[in-house]
A and B are shown apart, each in its own frame.
Chain A
Amino acid sequence: MFFQPRHVDEALEIRGRMGSDVTPLGGGTDIVVTINKTSMRPKHFLDLTHLPDYTHVVRDNGNWVLSAGATFSQLGKLPMKALAAAAMTVGGAAIRNTGTIAGNLGTASPAGDGCVALMAIDAEVELTHATRGRRTIPIHEYFTGFRRTALLADELITGVRLRTDWRTAWYKIGKRGSINISLVCAAFGMSPEGGVRMAYGCVAPIVMRTRLAEEIIEKDGLTDAAIEAAAQSVMKEVAPIDDHRASANYRRAMCGVLARRLLRELRIKNTG
């Protein structure tokens, strides 16, 4: 069956009733690739793209609230540097016009650029069930293992909340300028209270934060010595693998390079 609910309650009811038997469908940029390339065929689809307000992006009390279906094209216009820059590195324009933030979180790839950017700003993910209601969890509790998440089989991702007052920085290392899967990517954020987040993609089974390095900067500030100590710590904390895209050694070295580069950028720039 293919379900195309016109109201979120109907979508939640179908998901609550059918659980993992039904596949939520956003932009399809992950699911339909799998359909085209493998013999996998979801038996039942839950098309979320016709829900009213599914793509809404609104301000709420100093926060941004992204509806689950906010596309990369929309995120690319937000004044949050790491998230906007990450979004604009995804695919080409046609992918960015359809690919959604919930789809990125649903796939939960260790190369998920949107996921990495959200980790750098302590985003919160809203997971909703038909009768149990909505729960909001911090993004760092959302990823639980390789392509495993805190989303329960009878819930839908309904939104993402972001604070707007963090300074952020982003860099993605890939092989070319377009349609570019990360070899390593990093998003860093600093809260107005001095909290530091250093998130990396493609260097562990899940997108990860290098917490020991974060503590070094939180304690000592963005001095040259602290930046170097943080970079050294990052290279110990990450756990990359060799694969067809890059070697573990290269990735580890680049994590150090990105730590220095992005921490210096945060030191220079005051906004975004």
Chain B
Amino acid sequence: MHTNGTSWRLQCTINGQPIDTEVEQDETLLFFLRDRLGLTGTKGSCLEGECGSCTVIVDGQAVNSCLVLCPQMQGRTVETIEGLANGDKLHVLQEKFLASGAAQCGYCTPGLIMAAKALLDENPNPSEQQFFEGMEGNICRCTGYAAICEAIRSAAREWK
């Protein structure tokens, strides 16, 4: 498959919805989600893979959406923070972040929750080491992490 000029016909699934639209070949998934689909829950900050605020899940794995080019998502399944709640019913990670007061400014929260979801989907009972490895790519500059870890741990206890 290849582009027509620099324009690519992207077919993929985002939060369960089929997507079929034209994208530019060097457009990143982050700005496609935010600017074209209005899914502004996914944040951009460092744009170099260091902060984790743009984390989404692609085919079950945590990925930095700022470092993915849209055509690479051909045929892939993307989950963003907007896909977690079921109607008004929040996802257990969202509930626990609220209950633990794990957000302050909140900018890193969607990325943290998506990284945590990928971690717990793969392994609902991670060791300290595995927990650290799964979450080390996500930075929070407000809270000091204790409440965040508590929220993820308590979500893990109820993981289904």
Known A-B contacts A28-B72, A35-B26, A41-B26; A93 and B2 likewise in contact (beta carbons under 8 Å): no
Task: Name the distance in Å between A218's Cβ and chain B's nearest Cβ.
Answer: 35
Check if B104 is an interface residue, CB within 8 A of chain A: no
Q: A155-199 interface mask toward B, CB cutoff 8 Å, 1 = contact, 0 = none?
A: 000000000000000000000011100000000000000000000
Known A-B contacts A2-B8, A36-B48, A95-B64; A179 and B72 likewise in contact (beta carbons under 8 Å): no
Residue with the highest number of chain A CB atoms closer than 10 Å, among B62, B118, B119: B62
Task: Name the distance in Å between A90's Cβ and chain B's nearest Cβ.
Answer: 10
Give the contact stretch, choosing among A45-53, A114-122, A224-232, A260-268: A45-53
Interface residues of A in 80-117 (CB under 8 A from B): 88, 91-95, 97-98
Check if A4 is an interface residue, CB within 8 A of chain B: yes
Nearest A residue to B56, CB-CB = A94
Determine the chain A residues whose CB is within 8 A of the CB of B55 once the complex forms.
94
Docked Cα-Cα span, A30 to B136, in Å, equals 19
Task: Name the distance in Å between A48's Cβ and chain B's nearest Cβ.
Answer: 10
Interface residues of A in 46-92 (CB under 8 A from B): 47, 49-50, 73, 88, 91-92
Interface residues of B in 1-43 (CB under 8 A from A): 1-3, 5-6, 8, 25-26, 28
- In the complex, the answer to whether B136 meets A178 with C-beta atoms within 8 Å is yes
- In the complex, the answer to whether A32 meets B28 with C-beta atoms within 8 Å is yes
Q: How many A-B residue pairs have CB under 8 A?
A: 111
Known A-B contacts A4-B2, A94-B55; A45 and B25 likewise in contact (beta carbons under 8 Å): yes
Determine the chain B residues whose CB is within 8 A of the CB of A47 once the complex forms.
69, 71-72
Check if A6 is an interface residue, CB within 8 A of chain B: yes
Check if A132 is an interface residue, CB within 8 A of chain B: no
- In the complex, the answer to whether A177 meets B137 with C-beta atoms within 8 Å is no
Task: Name the distance in Å between B151's Cβ and chain A's nearest Cβ.
Answer: 18
Known A-B contacts A41-B26, A92-B52; A98 and B67 likewise in contact (beta carbons under 8 Å): yes
- Pick the residue among A3, A33, A49, A177 that contacts B67 (CB under 8 A): A33
- In the complex, the answer to whether A2 meets B25 with C-beta atoms within 8 Å is yes
- In the complex, the answer to whether A94 meets B115 with C-beta atoms within 8 Å is yes
Nearest B residue to A48, CB-CB = B72
Check if B49 is an interface residue, CB within 8 A of chain A: yes
Determine the chain A residues whose CB is within 8 A of the CB of B50 once the complex forms.
91, 179
Check if B134 is an interface residue, CB within 8 A of chain A: yes
Interface residues of A in 1-42 (CB under 8 A from B): 1-6, 25, 27-29, 32-33, 35-37, 41-42
- In the complex, the answer to whether A4 meets B137 with C-beta atoms within 8 Å is no
Check if B142 is an interface residue, CB within 8 A of chain A: no
- In the complex, the answer to whether A179 meets B71 with C-beta atoms within 8 Å is no
Docked Cα-Cα span, A6 to B52, in Å, equals 30
- In the complex, the answer to whether A93 meets B137 with C-beta atoms within 8 Å is yes
Q: B60-76 interface mask toward A, CB cutoff 8 Å, 1 = contact, 0 = none?
A: 01111011110110110
Task: Name the distance in Å between B141's Cβ and chain A's nearest Cβ.
Answer: 14
- Beyond A45-B69, A50-B72, A178-B136, 15 additional contacts (C-beta under 8 Å) are A1-B2, A2-B71, A3-B3, A27-B67, A28-B67, A32-B66, A32-B69, A36-B47, A36-B48, A47-B71, A91-B137, A92-B138, A93-B118, A93-B119, A94-B115
What are 10 A-B pairs at a CB distance below 8 A?
A2-B2, A2-B3, A4-B71, A29-B67, A37-B48, A42-B26, A45-B71, A91-B49, A92-B138, A94-B62
Residue ranges of A at the interface with B (Cβ–Cβ < 8 Å): 1-6, 25, 27-29, 32-33, 35-37, 41-42, 45, 47, 49-50, 73, 88, 91-95, 97-98, 177-179
The 8 A-B pairs of least Cβ separation, nearest first, read A92-B137, A178-B136, A2-B25, A36-B47, A2-B3, A32-B67, A97-B61, A94-B62
